[in-house]
A = this chain, B = another copy of it.
């Protein structure tokens, strides 16, 4: 979008968003504490919290024990007053889940799409909408403020129209937001899946928000990255940033459908790992990732070696990311970390530490995700919550 003059709305939006992040992470704390964390003045915190309390999304919860002086009044997100829905649409399944306002998962449903190959995008969206309605009814028609949806990419995100441009057929230029909005009548927010994962990880960090650049690398069937700069998702010109799966690490490498050759996906995705295992074994019936994962877990030499190689290749991609973006934190997640996170951590660290300047390696925080749950699904919901706290109009009508 055009870079235009800015006004006061942006101040408050930023400060509200920041206060929410801290308040949720702290669980229960005092206003003064929030003021210290955000470097806002106490009065500012009081003002914003007064709004939040009016809107019933924050509440006071008794007193906190202090050492000296007046006791603090504990405040916390009023997590059970409203709900949000998180949706993750993947290539072979989708999930719909209910969350409280702190981003805590309440209930989750997963629907397989393996046998639905003849369905087009709007059919699937219909299924998603039905699941949403069901989950709402099953939970006593609780008040839902928003729906956050995570989608696989790459996609063009301009003008709120999301068109998947590779992978699944029939998703080109589909206006997912509009279709879901029509069917559910609740505000819908879309996000690229890796971005959602990155956002969830940022929330989960112990001392988050102090970092300028966080990258979440989703290494699964494909490889994508979510890039967060100063607490905000970085999307690039068309919303396709973070397509690191199609970054080349080998100029003489294998051709890829994207036109490039030597794409990282060809060397570090689970799809390719499984392919290589099958090539080596040459069995009658090809094995799948689940099987390969088991073999790696059991220490099968061939599989472990191929896995290690994939990890090292991923490391080579991460070296490039570091040189270009100089992030504070890189978190590796998704399918490829699951067979053996320890090996992944070791191989990637080994590769990266050798491939970048010592001064950079000393400062960077590179780790395999230890996220408990589905960060992409959670991230979709969390982004919706963030929108809610910033756009009171969304739910003011509902009160």
Contacts and interface: CB of A to CB of B under 8 A. Distances in A.
Contact of A324 (B18, B213, B238, B325): B325
A316 B261 CA distance: 9
Contacts of A211: 3, 237
Interface string A230-251: 1100111111111111111111
B251 A316 contact: yes
Contacts of A327: 236-237
A259 interface: yes
B324 A225 contact: yes
A258 interface: yes
Contacts of A260: 319, 354-356
Contacts of A18: 3-5
Contacts of A397: none
B360 A238 contact: yes
A113 interface: no
A178 to B, nearest CB: 20
A357 interface: yes
A301 interface: no
Interface string A307-335: 00000010010011101111110000000
Nearest to A48: B5
A interface residue count range (under 10 / 10 to 19 / 20 to 34 / 35 or more):
35 or more
A53 to B, nearest CB: 19
A210 interface: yes
Interface string A375-389: 000000000000000
Nearest to A225: B324
Interface stretch (A8-16, A116-124, A128-136): A8-16
A271 B234 CA distance: 34
A349 to B, nearest CB: 13
B212 A243 contact: no
A166 interface: yes
B2 A11 contact: no
Interface of A: 1-8, 10-11, 14-15, 18-19, 38-40, 44, 154, 156, 165-166, 209-213, 225, 229-231, 234-252, 258-262, 267, 313, 316, 319-321, 323-328, 354-357, 359-360, 363-364
Given A5-B39, A237-B327, A238-B360, 19 more contacts: A2-B209, A4-B18, A5-B18, A6-B11, A213-B236, A213-B237, A236-B326, A237-B363, A238-B363, A240-B357, A242-B324, A243-B323, A246-B323, A246-B356, A246-B357, A248-B249, A248-B319, A248-B320, A250-B252
